[in-house]
Amino acid sequence: MVCLRRVGRLAAGLCLAVLWSACSDTQPLGPDRAPASFEVARAGQGARRHVILLREGSAADLTAAVEQAGGKVLRSYGEIGALSVTGLGEAAVLALARRPEVEGINPDVTVRWIPPGRTQFRRLVRFAGPAVGPRTDQRSAFFFNVWQWNLRVIRADQAWLATNQGRGTLVCVLDSGIDPSHIDLQGKVDAGLSASFVSGEPALTDLAGHGTFVAGLISSNGLGIGSVAPDTRLCSVKVLGGDGSGSFDDLIAGILYVARIRADVANMSLGAYFSRKEEGAKELLKALQRALDFASRRGVLLVAAAGNDGVDTNTDPKDFIAVPAEMDHVVSVGATAPVNQLDFDRIASYSNVGKSGVDVFAPGGDFVAGSVFQDLIIAPCSPSIADPDIGTCTPFDYLIGAGTSFAAPHVSGEGAVIESELRGNRDGDALAACILNTADPVTGRRIDPLYGRGRIDVLRGAACRSGGSRATLVGAPPR
């Protein structure tokens, strides 16, 4: 999740158009208020698409029953006991819902998981350095010294020569796609493992620009910018369209896909609030949770943005849930940022907070009174972006911005670094435990009411050797 705005200026040798946070200051919500974003979260319902959830343990095949009812099975999720179907009339839905093996059948919901284009990106800077090959030691990246406080704060730069840097791991970005033609992403994205679950949009295009930005923070060639895990492979799993929207069914499909290909990390810089009491929400949330459970069991570390609503999760309405950040087996990531390059562990003005809903923090950037542009986060601009306010980005262009969307990939990159240091494929919760247990308790409290476990430390995380832990994710039941 991200909010950004543009101002313009010129710098020697650079084509510069700077953008900054467009989010208004948001007060934490009290227990009697629903998060404001919920009213705009549900962008609409999928055209006659339904998700059928089978009862736990049921091995029933409803394909024939769906077809007899005039419908068509689009996707069958045998791992979690669910199906995605289309073409069902109201009477057919009621008839299928009465079957003993069916726990629920509900319309799929299309969600605005990231903000609309007008609140997102503007072109920032054009790379003007020498065209050299990919680097593992990325301290000589063109923008590293001036712009990338984010990597220094979490000691990612110190880990570049002290670890395997994600070598042999795979991080999948569930987002609006990745455009691999950018100079910092060329050769980084595994095209064979990338997949799109959005009709009409290939996985290796990014009309929104969001997924490309996120991907470059996880792993880059070290030409324009450094990254957290320079030697990990990336894959693009497109679950959002160019307008930042996607359906529950598409997100579920994407999560199950990364589990099937046994990705090490799934980055989900997306989210929305839902009422647990809303009609149909229970079964959709349960289907999504089953997908997350399955992915975690298959060894996938699940990372999600905590949200940009300025919510104190300790006091927000308990009937609401941030999806997927507050779901079981998901590491929820809040954002930190300096002001005028001071106080780097300050919680960003927009970030959700609270140990009840945010596990850990990472750099996300901010722009408030007293801020300078260097307080934001820099990452690649998608050459396939389709935003009239930005125009056309070349493979040499970068953006800056702020959001918990940009904090999450720092954690995903750390997960890849840790996995590359450990022998064997660790389950998702074991990797999460390493991240949580090695975070820097910036307030001096091991678990702080606002900061949760603290701010991540990649170098310390890479030294994690234990697969077991007492750490518990905020969305997970106590172990």
The b/e string for 218-240 (b: 16+ C-beta within 10 A; e otherwise) is bbbbbbbbbbbbbbbbbbbbbbb
The span from the CA of 16 to the CA of 378, in Å, is: 12
Q: Is the pLDDT of residue 15 over 50?
A: no
Q: pLDDT value at position 278?
A: 79
Q: Is the pLDDT of residue 290 over 80?
A: yes
Q: pLDDT value at position 434?
A: 94
Q: pLDDT value at position 4?
A: 30
The span from the CA of 10 to the CA of 249, in Å, is: 44
The span from the CA of 226 to the CA of 148, in Å, is: 8
Task: Provide mean pLDDT across the span 158-186.
Answer: 96
Whether residue 273 contacts residue 37, with contact meaning beta carbons closer than 8 Å, is answered with yes
The residue ranking higher by pLDDT, 27 or 156, is: 156
Which pLDDT band holds residue 463 (cuts at 50, 70, 90)? very high
The span from the CA of 165 to the CA of 155, in Å, is: 12
Which pLDDT band holds residue 75 (cuts at 50, 70, 90)? very high
Task: Provide mean pLDDT across the span 166-172.
Answer: 96
Q: Is the pLDDT of residue 383 over 60?
A: yes
**Which domains does the chain carry?**
5-27+120-462 (3.40.50.200), 51-106 (3.30.70)
Which pLDDT band holds residue 125 (cuts at 50, 70, 90)? low
Q: pLDDT value at position 462?
A: 94
Q: Is the pLDDT of residue 117 over 90?
A: no
Alpha helices by DSSP H, 53-105: 63-68, 90-97
Q: Is the pTM of this model over 0.95?
A: no
Q: Is the pLDDT of residue 46 over 80?
A: no
Task: Provide mean pLDDT across the span 114-132.
Answer: 63
Q: Is the pLDDT of residue 342 over 60?
A: yes
Task: Provide mean pLDDT across the span 424-450.
Answer: 89
Task: Provide mean pLDDT across the span 274-278.
Answer: 82
Which pLDDT band holds residue 472 (cuts at 50, 70, 90)? low
Q: What is the pLDDT of residues 175-221, one digit of tens each?
A: 999 999 999 999 999 999 999 999 999 999 999 999 999 999 999 99
Most confident residue range from 4-8, 36-40, 133-137, 204-208: 204-208
Q: Is the pLDDT of residue 135 over 90?
A: no
Which pLDDT band holds residue 466 (cuts at 50, 70, 90)? low
SS3 296: helix
Q: What is the pLDDT of residues 385-404, one digit of tens each?
A: 987 777 788 999 999 989 99
- Amino acid code (one letter) for 286: K
175 is catalytic: yes
Q: Is the pLDDT of residue 23 over 80?
A: no
Which pLDDT band holds residue 227 (cuts at 50, 70, 90)? very high
Task: Provide mean pLDDT across the span 134-151.
Answer: 91
The span from the CA of 118 to the CA of 126, in Å, is: 22
Which pLDDT band holds residue 19 (cuts at 50, 70, 90)? very low
Q: pLDDT value at position 121?
A: 56
Residue 151 token pair: 């990597």
Q: Which of 189-198, 322-331, 425-434, 435-444 has the lowest mean pLDDT?
A: 425-434
Q: pLDDT value at position 124?
A: 64
Which of 405, 412, 440, 457 is the catalytic position? 405
Q: Is the pLDDT of residue 156 over 60?
A: yes
CA distances to 130, 182, 336, 396 from 411, in Å: 30, 22, 13, 25
Which of 21, 37, 157, 175 is the catalytic position? 175
Which of 37, 50, 206, 210 is the catalytic position? 210
Q: pLDDT value at position 282?
A: 86
- Indicate the burial class of 288 (C-beta count within 10 angstroms; 0-12, 13-18, 19 or more): buried
The span from the CA of 208 to the CA of 210, in Å, is: 5
SS3 96: helix
351 is catalytic: no
The span from the CA of 130 to the CA of 140, in Å, is: 11
Q: pLDDT value at position 26?
A: 30
Report the percent of the chain where pLDDT is more than 70: 84
CA–centroid distance for 478 within its chain: 24
Mean pLDDT of the chain, nearest integer: 85
Q: Is the pLDDT of residue 454 over 70?
A: yes
Which pLDDT band holds residue 69 (cuts at 50, 70, 90)? very high
329 is catalytic: no
Alpha-carbon torsion (146, 226, 432, 4), positive or negative: positive
Q: pLDDT value at position 429?
A: 86
Task: Provide mean pLDDT across the span 148-152.
Answer: 98
